[in-house]
Structure 1
Amino acid sequence: MNNEEKRFNREEEDEDEESGRGREAWERTYADERSWESLQEDESGLLRPIDNKTLSHAQYRRRLRTATAARVQKGLIRYLYIIIDFSRAAAEMDYKPSRMVVVAKQVEAFVREFFDQNPLSQIGLVILKDGVAQCLTDLGGSPEAHIKALMGKLGTSGDASLQNGLDLVCDLLNQIPSYGHREVLILYSALSTCDPGDILETIQKCKASKIRCSVIGLSAELYICKHLCQETGGMYFVALMSLI
C-alpha cells in the first residue's frame, strides 16, 4: 500500500469519527438501523419485536381458515332437482322389467342415500311426459314424501322436452339463497327432445344461474345432453346395465 492510499484511508477514518462524535453511544449503535420497523403493537398496546417466521405462519393459517370457511359455507346445503323422463321411451324393456321401473327403484335408493349423507339438503322431483314438465314434489327434506309421490305417478306417454324441464327447475332454483349449491340430475330415456324454443339459450340461462346439471342416459349418447353437462360443469354418463 503506497503513501497516498494510507493517507486516504486515514481521512475516511477521521470523517467517521467526526460524524459519530456528536452522538451518544446508544445512538451510534442504532444510527444505521431502522429498528422501529421490527416492532409491532400487541393486543395490550405494548411494542414487541416481530417474529417474521411466526407472523408468516399466522397469516397463512388465517388465509387457510378463511378459504376453508368459504368452501364449507357454499357447499353446506345442496338443493337438488331430479328430472325423470317418463316419455314413451321409458316404456322400453331393454332394462327388465322396463326402464321406468328400473329408474323408479334407483331414484328411491338414491333419495334415501342422499339424505343419509346430506341431512340438511333438499330434493325436488320433476317428470317429463307429453312434451311438458311437471313438478312432482317441491324441494323438501322428507325422503318418504318424495318416494310416495313418485310411486303414485308411474306411467309413460308422449315425448320428452328437455328444455321445458330445464326452464322449470331454473326458475325454481333461482329462488334458492346464495349459500345453497344448486344441482340438477336428469335421468333421460329418449333419443331426442321435443322443445318449443332454443334449448341452447336455456342451457346458457342455467349456466348463468350457476346450476350444475348432470345427466344419466338410458339410451345412446346425445350431443345436447353432453353439451349441457360441459357448459354447466356437470357429468354425463350412459348407463350400460341395470343394477336391479
Structure 2
Amino acid sequence: MGLEEDGLMPMDEDGDLDAEEQGRDLEAWERAYAEDRSWEALTEDASGLLLAVDITQQQRQARRRYAASKGPRIQRGIIRYLFIICDFSRAAAEEDFKPSRMGLVANCVEAFIREFFDQNPLSHLGVIVIRGGVAKRLTDLSGSPEAHIRALRANLECSGDASIQNALDLARGYLSSIPTYGHREMLFLYSALSTCDPGDIMDSINACKKANIRCSVVGLSAEIYICKSLCERTGGIYSVAISESHLKDLVLEHAPPPPAIAESAVASLVRMGFPTRSAEGGVAICACHREVKVGGGYTCPRCKGRVCELPTECHVCGLTLVSSPHLARSYHHLFPVPAFEEVSVTLLPNGKNESLRLCYGCQQELPIAGSKAVAGVRLECPRCRQHFCFDCDVDSPGANQEEDMEEKKRLEVTATVVHIVGFLSNYTMRICRFNQRLARPMETIAFMLSS
C-alpha cells in the first residue's frame, strides 16, 4: 500500500523551504516584540485583571530603596582602588538580555565608570576581562574614565570558560601593593554558571580576605554558591539581575563608597600635591605616556614632572596629585544631604501658592492633589521648605542658601588649608636640600682653614 492510497502525499522540497521560511519569519516576529519586553511592566490584581502602571507607587518604592541603601552616617572610604571584572566567556553570548549579555554588560560598565569617578574623584579603577579560562588586565588602576571605556569597547569578544580564581589572583596581585589608606575592592559581572579553576579557589578567597579586599558579584544567571561564599567571606554584596534595568541598578549601587572595614578604618594622613596648570604653548615630556606633548598638562610640585590629567600619581616621585575641587567633592559622602519628605499640595483659588506649581530645581510642573495631569510624588526639603520633583530628589544639594554657603565655605577652607600644608611641606623639603648642598663646601672650607 503506497502513501497515495493512505491519503499521505510526500512533501516536496519547495514545501520544506516554505515551512522553514515561515518558521524564521515567526521567530523574527517574536524577537521584534521580545526586545522591549513590554509585558514585564504589566501587573495584575487578585482576580487576574490588568492594572495600570502607577508611577507614583514606583517612585515611592525607588525612594525606599534609595533610603535603605543610604543608611546612617558612617565612616566610608573616599580613596578607593577597584577592579571591575567582566565575564566574557561563552556564556556572555547568550541573548536572554538584549542585545546580549556581553553588550549589556559593556553598556552598564560604561555607565558605572562615569558614575564611579563622578562620586569618587580621588579613586582609581581598572578593568579585567575573563575569556578562555584566562584573566586579562585591560587597563591598570588609573583615574581616566575615557581610557577604560576605550579599552573595554575594543575587546568585546567572548569565548571559552570563565575562571574566578585566575581573576582573583590577578587582581589581588595589583591590589596587594596599595597603601593601607586605600580601600581595595573587586566587582564581578558574572554570566557563567560555573568556574574552571586551576587550583583550590578557597585558597584565593582566603588570600583576598587576608588582604582586606572586598569582593562583590552581580550575576546575570542563577545564584551560584561559590560567588555567594566569596561575597560572604570578603564582606561584599552578591545580587542577581532579572532584567536589563535591574542589572544597571545593581551595578550603579556600587558607585557610592561602601562602609569602611573595621580593620582598615584607622585614620591616617595622606601626602598629596596640588599641581599647577602648564602653559598652553609649552612643550614638555609627559611622564604618563613617555612622549613629547605640546600645551596643557599639570606640573608636579615635588619633582616638576608632567602629567596629563588629575587625579593621578606622579610617575616620577609617586606623589598623589589632586586638585582642590576633587578634595572638596569627596566630602559629599561625609556630609550627606538630608532626605526630602513627601507632601501633598492643593492649589488655592486665590493663587497665593501658585509658586508651588513648579519644581524649585528644574522648573518642571509638580503633581497636584486631586489632579491627574502630572503623575508622581512631590517632595519637600526639610531645611528651606521648597518643593522638588522625584528626579531632583537624589541630585539636589538642597535649597537652603545660607547653610549651603556655610558648607561651601567650610570645604573651601579645608581645601585651602591642605593646599597651604602641601606648599609648606614642599618648601621645607627644598630648604633642607639646599642646606645639604651648602653644608658640603662649608665643611671643605673649614677643613682647609684648620689645616
TM-score w.r.t. length of structure 1: 0.70
CA distance in 1, matches of 2:153, 2:119: 23
Structure 2 counterpart of 1:161: 163
Distance apart, 1:153 and its partner CA = 0.3
Distance apart, 1:125 and its partner CA = 0.3
Structure 2 counterpart of 1:83: 85
CA distance in 1, matches of 2:115, 2:135: 25
Task: Point out where structure 2 has 5 or more consecutive residues left out of the alignment.
Answer: 1-72, 249-451
CA distance in 1, matches of 2:147, 2:171: 19
CA distance in 2, matches of 1:107, 1:202: 25
Task: Point out where structure 1 has 5 or more consecutive residues left out of the alignment.
Answer: 1-67
1:134-175, Cα deviation, whole Å (9 max, x unpaired): 001000001000000000000100000000000000111001
Matched position secondary structure for 1:112: helix
CA distance in 2, matches of 1:214, 1:76: 18
Matched position secondary structure for 2:187: strand
Please identify runs of 4+ aligned residues in structure 1 that moved more than 3 A.
none
2:191 equivalent to 1:189: yes
CA distance in 2, matches of 1:227, 1:207: 12
CA distance in 1, matches of 2:105, 2:134: 19
Question: Of 173, 177, 180, which aligns to 1:178?
Answer: 180
Distance apart, 1:79 and its partner CA = 0.4
1:195-232, Cα deviation, whole Å (9 max, x unpaired): 00000010000000000000000000000000000000
Question: Of 112, 115, 121, which aligns to 1:113?
Answer: 115
Structure 1 counterpart of 2:133: 131
Output the aligned Cα RMSD: 1.5
CA distance in 2, matches of 1:170, 1:223: 21
AA paired with 1:83?
Answer: I
1:46-84, Cα deviation, whole Å (9 max, x unpaired): xxxxxxxxxxxxxxxxxxxxxx9xx46xx1200000000
CA distance in 2, matches of 1:142, 1:221: 33
CA distance in 1, matches of 2:134, 2:177: 21
Q: Which has the larger radius of gyration?
A: 1
Structure 2 counterpart of 1:228: 230
Structure number with higher helix proportion: 1
Matched position secondary structure for 2:84: strand
CA distance in 1, matches of 2:124, 2:201: 26
Equivalent positions of 1:203-242 (< 5 A) are 203-242=205-244
Matched position secondary structure for 2:243: coil
Q: Compare relative contact order (CA 8 Å, sep 6+) and give the higher one, 1 or 2.
A: 1
CA distance in 2, matches of 1:214, 1:114: 15
Distance apart, 1:185 and its partner CA = 0.2
Matched position secondary structure for 1:201: helix
Identity of aligned residues (%): 65
Matched position secondary structure for 2:148: helix
The number of residues matched between the two structures is: 174
CA distance in 2, matches of 1:125, 1:175: 17
Structure 1 counterpart of 2:95: 93
1:172-198, Cα deviation, whole Å (9 max, x unpaired): 100100000000000000000000000
